[in-house]
Amino acid sequence: MIKHLQDTIELNNGLKMPGMGLGVFQVANDATAEMVKEAIEVGYRSIDTASIYGNESGVGMGIKQALASTDLQREDLFITSKVWNDGLNYDETKRAYEESLNELGLDYLDLYLIHWPGKDKYTESWRALEDLYIEGKIKAIGVCNFNTGHLKDLLSFARIKPVLNQVEFHPRLQQENLRDFCVTHHIQLEAWAPLMQGGLLKNETLSKIASNHGKTIAQVVLKWDIQNGVITIPKSVRKERMKQNADIFDFNLTDEEMMTINKLNLDQRVGPNPDEYDFTL
C-alpha cells in the first residue's frame, strides 16, 4: 500500500507508476494548463488524459509550465493518454498516438490505453500498441473499461500483456470478479470516477466513517481505493481540493470500516456498461 502521494506501484513490466494521480476528464482545454501546473506543484506526478477529452494541449502546456517553475524533469512525471474509438485499426492507432504526442508536446508517453473495447474493435489497435511499445515509444500499454470477457479475449492473442485496466470503480460499483481476474493475471486496476462523480458525497455510512477520522467522505473513499491496492485518479480543478484529496496518508481505515464500505456495493454505474455499449462511430 502506498504511503505518500508520490509512492509508486510496480506494473507487470517493471515500470513504476504513482499510486495516485490527477484525472482531467470534462475539464475545458483552456482551464487544464493551470490545473495541471498546480497539481504538479502540490505533488502529483501522474496525470491522466485522453484524446477524446479535447484537453491534451492544455495538459502539455501545464506540464511545460510546471517543469519551468520547478526542479522537476519530464522523467519525474507519469503521463497517460488514450486512443479513442475512431482510431482502432492498426494505422489509425499509430496515427492517433502521434497526434496525442503532438498535442501534449511530449517525446513519449508513460502509458497509452485503449479507451473502450467497443465491439470486436481492439485486436488491430492492441497490435499497434504492442509495436509502439516494442519500438520504445511508450513505456507501458494497457486498456480501459475492459470487462473480464474482453480481457480473456485480449490475453488469448496478445504478445504483450496489458499492465493496467482503468475502469469505473467506487463503493457502489466494486467489480469484485473483475478485480480478482486482474489480480490473478497481474493486471493493475485503476479507478475512474472514484467518487462516483460526486454521487457518494452525502452518503451517511461514509459520513460516519469520515467523522471517525476527522476526514471528508472523499478522503475516505480515496483511502479505501488505496487500501484495496487500486490506483486512483480523482479530478479537481481547485488547488485546495487537490491538496485535500492527497491528504489521506495520515490515517488508515480499520478492517471493520473496510468491510462496511464493501457492503455498499450495488453494481451501480454512472457510466456505460462496456458489455452493452460499443461506441460504434
Q: Which residues are catalytic?
A: 53
Q: Is 213 annotated as a binding residue?
A: no
Q: What is the DSSP string of the chain?
A: ---STT-EEE-TTS-EEESB-EE-TT--HHHHHHHHHHHHHHT--EEE--GGGT-HHHHHHHHHHHHHHSS--GGG-EEEEEE-GGG-SHHHHHHHHHHHHHHHT-S-BSEEEES--TTT--HHHHHHHHHHHHTTSBS-EEEES--HHHHHHHHHH-SS--SEEEEE-BTTB--HHHHHHHHHTT-EEEEESTTGGGTTTT-HHHHHHHHHHT--HHHHHHHHHHHTT-EE----SSHHHHHHHH--SS----HHHHHHHHTT-----SS--TTT-----
CB 164 within 8 A of CB 16: no
Q: 31: closest CA among 279, 235, 256, 237?
A: 237
Q: Look up residue 189 and give its three cell numbers.
A: 486496476
- Look up cell 456505460; give the residue: 272
Helix 56-69 and helix 90-104: axis angle, to 10°?
Answer: 40
Binding site for substrate: what residues are annotated? 115
Binding site: what residues are annotated? 115
